[in-house]
Amino acid sequence: MIKVKIDGGDSFVEIGGKEVEILDCWDESTLAQCDLSDLAGESGPFPEGLQLEVHSEDGFGTYFFHELLLSYHLAGAALDFRCHTPNKYWEGLSA
C-alpha cells in the first residue's frame, strides 16, 4: 500500500511499509522517488496529490527510458516517460 503521511510540517511517503525519499512538497502535492522494484506487488488506490519519480535499471525493458513520473488526477493515472540522452555534439576530445 502506498501512503502519504503529513505530521505537522513533516511529510512521509511509504510504499509497502518502506519510507521513500521526498524530493519536494507543496500545499496539495508531494514529489517522491523510488525504484521500480519498490512498486512490485503494490495495489490499491494511488494517493491523490502524490507524484512518484520511478527509476528502472533496465529502462523498463526498453534500455531507453530509465525514469517515469507516475501521478493520479481526477481524469485517471498519468505516466510520463523521461529519456535522458547525451548531447553528442559536446562529447569527444577538446583541442
43-93 residue pLDDT tens: 878 888 899 999 988 878 877 778 889 988 777 888 888 876 666 666 655
Q: What is the pTM of this model?
A: 0.75
Q: 41 pLDDT exceeds 90?
A: no
Partners of 80 in the β-ladder? 69
CA distance 46 to 1: 8
* Residue 33's pLDDT band (cuts 50, 70, 90): very high
Task: Please report the pLDDT score of residue 88 as a whole number.
Answer: 64
Task: Please report the pLDDT score of residue 32 as a whole number.
Answer: 93
Strands, sheet with 50-55, edge to edge from the N-terminal-most edge strand: 2-7, 10-15, 18-25, 30-35, 50-55, 67-73, 76-82
